[in-house]
A = this chain, B = another copy of it.
């Protein structure tokens, strides 16, 4: 299947593409200098929305699944990036323990785990999957649709170390976003590297902090490119749970967006998206075009699993500028997802959803995944090609925005590090 990517996009996005392409060496150098000062998240995926007039990240996942959607052509890049990441963290590493989500039974998620295991195996590590799900009491082999299988083993907590039976890892890779809180079994592990750090989990993370950091990063990239940072930055307001009903912050945000739409002569109807500030998996994401739609709205509370810290039922809310997606794959609305390992873009795919509109969240049941529509050379921009006409150039731009969001996460994790040394 070679999907037909329709990006009939004209206007500002093509100018942005041209500027991004013209500035390629400067952009790459800028990132290189940033990574001298900041540590990239171990891995990440970023949902990007391309509205035709602006391009912005809307979600940054620091415990990405979906690795099985990367094509075979992309895998060597992931392996190479994994090698670079391991080399920096623990070059002597021999054993890696991956801790997956609890309730890991979804065939797609299991396939993603198998792919991760494969990537790190090829990067030179013995990899085992250690579950902290109380339901996994013994070694459990789970079959995959393609005939492979993966083996989940219960994590064993020693006095100072984590492992599984007869396997002592030097590094623990979390593929569990801790949205139900940090379980005690992961706490006070001082002899092993836990990556990403525990405070990257949703029990600590706040979307508002992430997008605050992103705003800063977008401003600087806007300056480098000579563009209005709004073209790559979704506006947002953080509201306490009580603020939603009156919708004050929401109305203020809609006003700001209307002003921007007017400035750029955009005819679309502005909207905002309401998300739990500490939520994962797009639970309870709502699109709202008018504060009048609000009364009666109530976000579903987060799931709190047994044996974890309870999450407050009344939660803070992120009200974020809605970014349309103008990309379509066949007849379905599509949004690109960019995958990164260490500082490198290693691949991506389109998330498509036939049942959703261009102003709706696509990360929902019924979503499908399509490899990036360009057969070759997805990371290799083609200088000299007319803006909007080159899929690789478009993807290069997505990769830049994805990396900006990753860099924002890096700032975010520094700012929220409970063990950071504070210099007065």
Contacts and interface: CB of A to CB of B under 8 A. Distances in A.
Contacts of A124: 24-29, 31-32
**Copies per complex of this chain:** 2
Contacts of A93: 29, 32
B379 A35 contact: no
A87 B32 contact: yes
A121 B72 CA distance: 26
A235 interface: no
Contacts of A283: none
Contact of A77 (B24, B31, B76): B76
A76 B24 contact: no
B344 A80 contact: yes
Contacts of A32: 83, 86-87, 91-93, 124
A125 interface: yes
A21 to B, nearest CB: 11
A93 to B, nearest CB: 7
Nearest to A125: B25
A344 B72 CA distance: 18
A35 B92 contact: no
A415 interface: no
The 6 closest A-B CB pairs, nearest first, are: A28-B124, A76-B379, A72-B377, A72-B376, A29-B124, A25-B124
23 contacts: A24-B122, A25-B94, A27-B124, A28-B122, A28-B125, A29-B93, A29-B94, A29-B124, A29-B125, A32-B87, A32-B93, A33-B91, A33-B92, A72-B377, A73-B376, A75-B379, A76-B77, A76-B377, A77-B80, A79-B379, A80-B81, A83-B343, A83-B344
Interface of A: 24-29, 31-33, 35-36, 72-73, 75-77, 79-81, 83-84, 86-87, 91-94, 121-126, 343-344, 376-381
Given A28-B122, A75-B380, 8 more contacts: A24-B122, A25-B126, A28-B124, A29-B92, A32-B83, A33-B92, A76-B380, A83-B344
